[in-house]
Structure 1
Amino acid sequence: MSTTTLLVRRNDLANARLAIAPDTPLEDGQVRVRVDAFALTANNITYAAFGDAMDYWRFYPTPEEGWGIVPVWGFGTVRQSLHPGVATGERLYGYWPMADSAVLKPGHLSPAGFSDEAPHRAQLHSVYNRYMRCEADPFYTPGTEDVQALLRPLYTTSWLIDDFMADNDFFGARTLLLSSASSKTAYGTAFQLSQRPGLEVIGLTSDANRAFCESLGCYTRVLAYEALEAIDGATPLVYIDFAGNVELRRAIHTRFANLRYSCAVGGTHVEHLGAAKDLPGPRATLFFAPAQIRKRQGDWGPAELARRLVEAWHSFRDRVGDATRPWLRVRRHEGADAALAAYRQVLEGRGDPSLGHILAIR
């Protein structure tokens, strides 16, 4: 047996290729999982763009110098097990390589799932090391695996951004400006924010995506990137940056004298990423979802945090999948070559924002 993996040049994300390598024998305590399908979104491009700074390349290292494996969220099935607590045939949700199989070393087992205890992941955040058994996962519903793979990890980030903002009383502002408004993490955040009274949620997007963003109904208004002058420059506001566009960030920091907080979340505009040093106003601060998880686990306890997240997720999932006005349509890409083409498409930011890409390398 062999494993097919999609490799990405770490300093040139457009340079991607497929690699096939023979499977190595499992060691005691390990399991081999067939990666059945995974989502590919702008969030995964962010993982690659910040792969060195945020250690995303370390989850699935490759011996090929200068190349990396982008981690993705999706579902897999255990096809070989040398661990007494994990059965062949178990279905799992979790964080996979862009490949058709993965080797894990389960530890901290519970009826709900387990962690990957591989030595190279010991210092990485536990949120990304946890694998959920679908039969016991409160987030899981049969028949919606594609939507779960596409939106569950993004929505968790969205929910935590909203919670972080509310936890800090929106830094004294009541207007929130979201870039890359058509991206799934952005509109998940807007969905949450729209449920809080007294807030104005403004989405920034391209002209081509304005109609889609307006159709969602969760933005107070939607503006093209070139229309910043439509917002009063004296407005106290928070900027939540899902684009990572350095020129846009500089323009916002320069125009809005009462910018209360600048939150950097993603990097959908890969060709325009940058640090934008010496910006006027507050320092752009990277949002790290696991830090807010740790805080709320301390505030509420893990069980209560999980309960709130599950309840919110089901509400969001139902809205996204509403048969009369769905926000998301799924497109599947079967096979290694199709997966490679889909990666390049998502990297370039091409396509319909209402589409969600599900890949299977097999």
Structure 2
Amino acid sequence: MPTKTYIHVVKKAAIAEHASLEVDLSILPTPGKGQVRVRSALFSITYNNLTYARMGSILKWWDAFPVPESLPAPYGDRSKYGIAPCWGWSEVLESKIDGIDVGMLLFGYLPLSGLPVDLQLVAGDAEGHMVDVSEQRKTLMPIYNRYIIRDPDMRLSELSPERVEDMGREAVYRPVWECGYLLNKFNLSDPFVHPAGHQGPPDQPWGKAQGDLSSAVLIILSAGGRTARSFLDGLVHNRDQKTGPLALLAITSTAIEAVVKSARFPMKVISYKAIPEPESMIWVAEHRPAKVVVVDFGGRSNSQADLAEALKRHLPTTDAFTVGVGNEPKADTLEETIAKLRRASVLPNRVQMNTGPIRDAMVEKMGAEAYFPMVNREWTSFVERGNMEDLRILWEERVEGESGIEGAWETICKGELPSDAAFVYKL
């Protein structure tokens, strides 16, 4: 058994500053009653991880996996340093819970680190689901405290290379896919759940008047990202044509030909530079929409302001509503991120989407035993339609150094990860 491992830490106030440190496993306490000790075994790193780091102080994501205070200065200061989270599979190393055995794999929220962590788990509301109820994680939304045992007999060391690759792709895509799925299925379709979940802020109403696409033209900013492509797949394949949209204007810097070919409604794809040009808004107006719905998956630079001005100039009497989903994938400080969100609010009637509360609202409405099997079926259909076939996985197996988590973090902070690629780690 190894006696040492590496931990990757990130400076909260400046997330491009990070380090990998060797630590002795003896710093870990003995797992207590009701706990399992797990290690991050198979997980992904994409630009999405930057969001967790940028907004970690506000949305409490840093609380999930605090740094050990025994780390050498300054890295043991929890007010200044944290362990960035990710999604994927953890492997059980020790268990003090009946029914959870050593070697089992749990899908959920994990630390980008080689240091094992202890989870305080209780049975959840659906078969195979467990919930972390530890004190430090009570500040997190429920979506981040849910762990799923997909198959109690599955062991990572016994899986075929093909199965491991499928699981790696799922670690990359599934969390952002659920966001796109919920947006199409429940925010922009009956029952028109508020994008913030439940009722949302009182000054940001949401219902059929805002979310119904049957008489709307839909405009998507950053239409080529994985969350947007997941949403577009549902829009094309998982929606009654009578529910709209009348047409779709996709603004992107990457190719999305497959969606264009399969769309059952008029669709136009333009670059960011083309937003101020009148032809695009003339095309929107030709469809005579009762309203325009904008979904902003993280438009680049000044695209929100350009689009707001174009709508105001060419469709001044048409109602418009905006759902904010993502941010531009950069290693910004919290202050820079907040400033960008404020600039993005120039888009009309903007509300911010949050996947976790929407899931919570639908679990409450449908029941967990209905919701999660439904989502599993839809995920399988998404995969079978070949949506992940063009994903290029960059496989790595260590924490430290250029080829480790350390190097991957440097790559995404510099914006150098190609749009068709994702890092997947099998530690």
Which residue identity is paired with 2:93?
R
Tell me, yes or no, if structure 1 residue 50 matches structure 2 residue 55.
yes
Cα distance in structure 1, aligned partners of 2:150 and 2:345: 46
Tell me, yes or no, if structure 1 residue 239 matches structure 2 residue 294.
yes
Residue 293 of structure 1 deviates from its aligned partner by 1.5
Is the Cα–Cα contact under 8 Å of residues 329 and 354 in structure 1 kept in the other structure? yes
Structure holding more strand per residue: 1
Cα distance in structure 2, aligned partners of 1:22 and 1:259: 60
Aligned to 1:97: 111
Is the Cα–Cα contact under 8 Å of residues 329 and 356 in structure 1 kept in the other structure? yes
Q: CA offsets per residue over residues 263-305 of structure 1, 9 Å max, x none?
A: 2211233257413359555343221112211222233222222
Alignment of 1:152-191 (within 5 A): 152-163=174-185, 164-166=187-189, 167=192, 168-169=207-208, 171-173=211-213, 174-191=216-233
Aligned to 1:9: 11
Q: CA offsets per residue over residues 140-191 of structure 1, 9 Å max, x none?
A: x945211111111111111111121122446355222222222111110111
Residue 313 of structure 1 deviates from its aligned partner by 0.5
Is the Cα–Cα contact under 8 Å of residues 42 and 424 in structure 2 kept in the other structure? yes
Alignment of 1:1-362 (within 5 A): 1-23=3-25, 24-29=28-33, 30-62=35-67, 63-64=76-77, 65-100=79-114, 101-108=116-123, 112-135=128-151, 142-143=163-164, 144-163=166-185, 164-166=187-189, 167=192, 168-169=207-208, 171-173=211-213, 174-195=216-237, 196=239, 197=241, 198-199=244-245, 200-206=247-253, 209=254, 212-217=255-260, 220-228=267-275, 229=277, 230-232=279-281, 235=285, 236-243=291-298, 245=300, 247-257=302-312, 258=318, 260-270=320-330, 273=337, 274-276=340-342, 280=346, 282-320=348-386, 326-336=389-399, 337=401, 338=403, 339-360=405-426, 362=427
Of residues 235-244 and 44-53 in structure 1, the stretch that sits farther from structure 2 once superposed is 235-244
Q: CA offsets per residue over residues 218-247 of structure 1, 9 Å max, x none?
A: 673322111113421675322222216462
Cα distance in structure 1, aligned partners of 2:218 and 2:271: 15
Is the Cα–Cα contact under 8 Å of residues 76 and 93 in structure 1 kept in the other structure? yes
Cα distance in structure 2, aligned partners of 1:278 and 1:99: 33
Cα distance in structure 2, aligned partners of 1:340 and 1:79: 24
Of residues 338-347 and 36-45 in structure 1, the stretch that sits farther from structure 2 once superposed is 338-347
Secondary structure (helix, strand or coil) at the match of 2:321 reads: strand
Counterparts in 2 of 1:245 and 1:9: CA distance versus 1, 3 Å: farther
Residue 46 of structure 1 deviates from its aligned partner by 1.6
Cα distance in structure 2, aligned partners of 1:278 and 1:73: 27
Is the Cα–Cα contact under 8 Å of residues 32 and 96 in structure 2 kept in the other structure? yes
Counterparts in 2 of 1:358 and 1:296: CA distance versus 1, 3 Å: same
- Higher Cα Rg, which structure: 2
Residue 17 of structure 1 deviates from its aligned partner by 1.5
Is the Cα–Cα contact under 8 Å of residues 159 and 188 in structure 1 kept in the other structure? yes
Secondary structure (helix, strand or coil) at the match of 2:56 reads: coil
Counterparts in 2 of 1:5 and 1:181: CA distance versus 1, 3 Å: farther
Of residues 196-205 and 148-157 in structure 1, the stretch that sits farther from structure 2 once superposed is 196-205
Number of residue pairs matched? 351
Counterparts in 2 of 1:278 and 1:113: CA distance versus 1, 3 Å: closer
Residue 128 of structure 1 deviates from its aligned partner by 1.0
Cα distance in structure 2, aligned partners of 1:112 and 1:357: 27
Which residue identity is paired with 2:119?
L
Cα distance in structure 2, aligned partners of 1:278 and 1:155: 23
Secondary structure (helix, strand or coil) at the match of 2:20 reads: strand
Counterparts in 2 of 1:13 and 1:283: CA distance versus 1, 3 Å: farther
Cα distance in structure 1, aligned partners of 2:89 and 2:37: 13
Counterparts in 2 of 1:261 and 1:246: CA distance versus 1, 3 Å: farther
Cα distance in structure 2, aligned partners of 1:278 and 1:162: 21
Counterparts in 2 of 1:120 and 1:282: CA distance versus 1, 3 Å: same
Residue 346 of structure 1 deviates from its aligned partner by 2.5
- Quote the sequence identity (%): 22
For structure 1, the 5+ residue unaligned runs are: none
Is the Cα–Cα contact under 8 Å of residues 305 and 344 in structure 2 kept in the other structure? no
Secondary structure (helix, strand or coil) at the match of 1:267 reads: coil
Of residues 289-298 and 269-278 in structure 1, the stretch that sits farther from structure 2 once superposed is 269-278
Q: CA RMSD in A?
A: 2.7
Counterparts in 2 of 1:179 and 1:69: CA distance versus 1, 3 Å: farther
Of residues 274-283 and 77-86 in structure 1, the stretch that sits farther from structure 2 once superposed is 274-283
Q: CA offsets per residue over residues 104-141 of structure 1, 9 Å max, x none?
A: 1222367503111211112322211111112169xxx9
